Chain A
Amino acid sequence: MGTNAFVDSEDLPVKANDAGPSGSNRADQVLVEAAQEGNADAFGTLAERYYSSVYGIVYRMCGAGEAADLTQEIFLRALRALRKFQFHGEASFRTWLYRIAVNACINELRRRKRRTDIEGPSLDEDVPTNDGTVSRTVPDETQSPHVLAERAEVQRAVHMIVATLTPKHRAALTLVDLQELDYEEAAQVLECPLGTLKSRLARARRQFAEKWRQYEEGTFSIQAARGQGEGG
């Protein structure tokens, strides 16, 4: 169940759903059909419509560092799989695209974890010391200009805390609370039952709330939080 939710499945047609306005779905359908016939402009329009939200998913799940590259890769994956995509009733292209995005993010997180397991902790992680955790002196990827433009301390804290959650919890929280999908569409994106989505979201929120409280109290440690998140 849970693991099946994260296999690469962009080639599977999505089930019918009522996510999003039907007018938007119809517009998507026209564009998708044109793109399936080789119309590059149609796919470009689809990309224009959804690239911000896909970027948001990637940014929140994987961080700012490779968000742009991964977003581009997601659209390429979608394009390659587009011929297999079929509309069934009101099936949403957006749901299908988000599923590709979430799966790509989870695969990316797993890849990073494997790399960390092999090569040791990443340089952007804080270093635990006797006086608490301190940042490494190497510049953080989130210092890039486009991130600086939108940075605020609260946003940074939110992203830090979200990054400590497990990939599944992170995905649920990102889709529902940050991308504001409804439960049904989020469950379809994650390919899990509605009840599973609810329980994942509840646990993710509880963990986030607990860490947010620690952050506000000044006791939040990324290192410790990450350990808790991965253990939980």
Chain B
Amino acid sequence: MKPDCSSIEAMLSASLDGELTPDEARACAAHLEACDACRAQHAALVSARAVLRGVPPPQPPPDLLPAIRAAADAEMLGEDAAIALLHAMPAPEPPPDLLPAIRIAVAAQTRRDRATQAFWGRWRTALGVAAAAAVLLAAVFVPRGHEPMTAAGPHITAVAPETPSTPAEPVAAPEEVAEAAPVTPNSVALAMASPRRHPSSRAVADVRPDRAERPEEPAPVAEEVAPRPEPAAPVGEPALAVAPREAPTAPSAAPIAPGQITNGTMLAMAPRTTPAHAPAETPASPVAEAPASPVAGGPSALETELAAGVVARMVVDSFVAEHLIESAPTLMAVVTDSPTAEVGPVLADESEDSANFGLNFTESMRRALSQTHNQLP
């Protein structure tokens, strides 16, 4: 069948590129021999194609490729910005008073752990004698003054006591107190004596997510704190740690054992903003002045890292920061040297969730962060 002029158009075009089948090529050639219009059209197409193919490709501007590379790098960083930034940023030099502060806080935590262990040992003994009597005793000993604490959620608090003689005393998470441990009135009083926030000082930090909703509690004077009761409250996973920066020689400062703060505890440090209050006896070498450790050995991995300056700074948004604080069980310490921020993800203005947080992380925390980051929703 001889193709007509309208159906030959595609063949004419394809013939320029050798895209015709042998049958199509023969039909096309036959039509061109017989049709002057299509022959002229074919010539025009040949000319047009030659013009088009003779145009050199446009030269991209010299800055295009670098721009694409930079944009792609930024895009890829955006997928894992926190980790990438963490690795890209140089590790800052830790301040000299950071390690002593950490030691003191760790000591407080250690003492609390031991007290808790001793308390539960006695409690189990009592249960072994008479379960019913134990229940009755619990009803008798549970103080009524701790109810305000039971509503509190997980939080991290660091406290720098006003007086060096005030022993640092951690207080268990309210849920743990309510569920597992009788709390003596004295221990409750101690908890009340540890203000979580202090508007004029950054010695206290409260990073609980619900901190804004908590009613202000009166800050008792230090004299209200009775001698440390025995037993102390048990340790809860969301813990409150007391870091008596001004009392590094407190007798209660327990030795630091490597690995003792590894599980279930987030340790918050008092910011290093009160050097004027630091006592002269602040140990230059906390290891030397620390009481004998039940576990002989050198500093913990965390201390070693901090002492070596292996602290990386990173910026995370509020969501990540909150997530880290709440869910990273191995994130042992969150320390900041920002003059505008308190411990952990405490906002400078305490109002904008969109603000970024500057956090310092040790290598241990970097690993924890990497694990946690992968679990972020």
Which residues of the partner chain A approach B151 to less than 8 Å between Cβ atoms?
none
Which residues of the partner chain B approach A53 to less than 8 Å between Cβ atoms?
57
Establish whether residues A75 and B68, one from each chain, have CB atoms under 8 Å apart when the complex forms: yes
CB distance from A119 to the nearest CB of B (A): 27
**A40 on the interface (CB 8 Å rule)?**
yes
* Closest chain B residue to A45, Cβ basis: B69
Q: Choose among B9, B14, B48 the residue with the greatest number of A CB atoms under 10 Å from its CB.
A: B48
CB distance from A184 to the nearest CB of B (A): 9
Partner of B58, one of A64, A183, A213: A64
**B147 on the interface (CB 8 Å rule)?**
no
CB distance from A153 to the nearest CB of B (A): 12
Establish whether residues B45 and A209, one from each chain, have CB atoms under 8 Å apart when the complex forms: yes
A88-96, A198-206, A220-228 - interface stretch? A198-206
B71-79, B87-95, B189-197, B209-217 - interface stretch? B71-79
Instruction: Report B40-81 residues with CB < 8 Å from chain A CB.
Output: 41, 44-45, 47-49, 51-65, 67-69, 71-73, 75-76, 79-80
Convert A45-68 into 0s and 1s, putting 1 for each residue whose CB lies closer than 8 angstroms to a CB of B.
Answer: 001100111011001100010011
* Closest chain A residue to B16, Cβ basis: A205
Establish whether residues B65 and A154, one from each chain, have CB atoms under 8 Å apart when the complex forms: no
- Known A52-B57, A203-B9; contact A208-B52, beta-carbon cutoff 8 A: yes
Which residues of the partner chain B approach A55 to less than 8 Å between Cβ atoms?
58, 60, 64
In whole angstroms, how far apart are the Cα atoms of A180 and B45 in the complex? 16
Which residues of the partner chain B approach A213 to less than 8 Å between Cβ atoms?
44
Establish whether residues A209 and B68, one from each chain, have CB atoms under 8 Å apart when the complex forms: no
Which residues of the partner chain A approach B52 to less than 8 Å between Cβ atoms?
158, 173, 177-178, 208
In whole angstroms, how far apart are the Cα atoms of A37 and B71 in the complex? 17
- Known A146-B61, A158-B55, A198-B13; contact A76-B71, beta-carbon cutoff 8 A: yes
* Closest chain A residue to B49, Cβ basis: A177
In whole angstroms, how far apart are the Cα atoms of A75 and B68 in the complex? 7
* Closest chain B residue to A53, Cβ basis: B57
CB distance from B324 to the nearest CB of A (A): 22
Tally chain A residues at the interface, Cβ within 8 Å: 49
Count contacts between A and B, CB distance < 8 Å. 127
* Closest chain A residue to B43, Cβ basis: A209
Partner of B13, one of A60, A201, A210: A201
Establish whether residues A76 and B64, one from each chain, have CB atoms under 8 Å apart when the complex forms: no
Establish whether residues A72 and B55, one from each chain, have CB atoms under 8 Å apart when the complex forms: no
In whole angstroms, how far apart are the Cα atoms of A111 and B133 in the complex? 81
**B276 on the interface (CB 8 Å rule)?**
no
Which residues of the partner chain B approach A199 to less than 8 Å between Cβ atoms?
9-10
**A44 on the interface (CB 8 Å rule)?**
yes
**B243 on the interface (CB 8 Å rule)?**
no
**B290 on the interface (CB 8 Å rule)?**
no
Partner of B65, one of A38, A40, A51, A212: A51
CB distance from B221 to the nearest CB of A (A): 56
**A149 on the interface (CB 8 Å rule)?**
yes
In whole angstroms, how far apart are the Cα atoms of A60 and B58 in the complex? 8
Partner of A206, one of B41, B73, B79: B41
Establish whether residues B17 and A51, one from each chain, have CB atoms under 8 Å apart when the complex forms: no
CB distance from B289 to the nearest CB of A (A): 47
Partner of B64, one of A68, A79, A173, A201: A68
Instruction: Report A125-168 residues with CB < 8 Å from chain B CB.
Output: 146-147, 149-150, 154-155, 158
**B97 on the interface (CB 8 Å rule)?**
no
Further contacts, 20 of them, CB under 8 A, given A47-B65, A79-B76, A199-B10? A47-B69, A47-B72, A52-B60, A55-B60, A60-B58, A64-B58, A71-B64, A72-B68, A79-B72, A146-B60, A146-B62, A150-B56, A150-B59, A154-B51, A177-B53, A180-B53, A198-B19, A203-B9, A206-B41, A208-B48
A sample of 26 cross-chain residue pairs with beta-carbon separation below 8 angstroms, ordered by A number, consists of A40-B76, A43-B72, A43-B76, A44-B72, A47-B65, A51-B60, A52-B57, A56-B58, A68-B63, A72-B68, A79-B72, A79-B76, A146-B59, A146-B61, A147-B58, A154-B51, A154-B54, A154-B55, A158-B51, A158-B52, A178-B52, A183-B14, A198-B10, A199-B10, A205-B45, A209-B47
Per CB-CB distance, the 5 closest pairs between chain A and chain B, nearest first, are: A202-B13, A209-B48, A177-B52, A55-B60, A209-B44
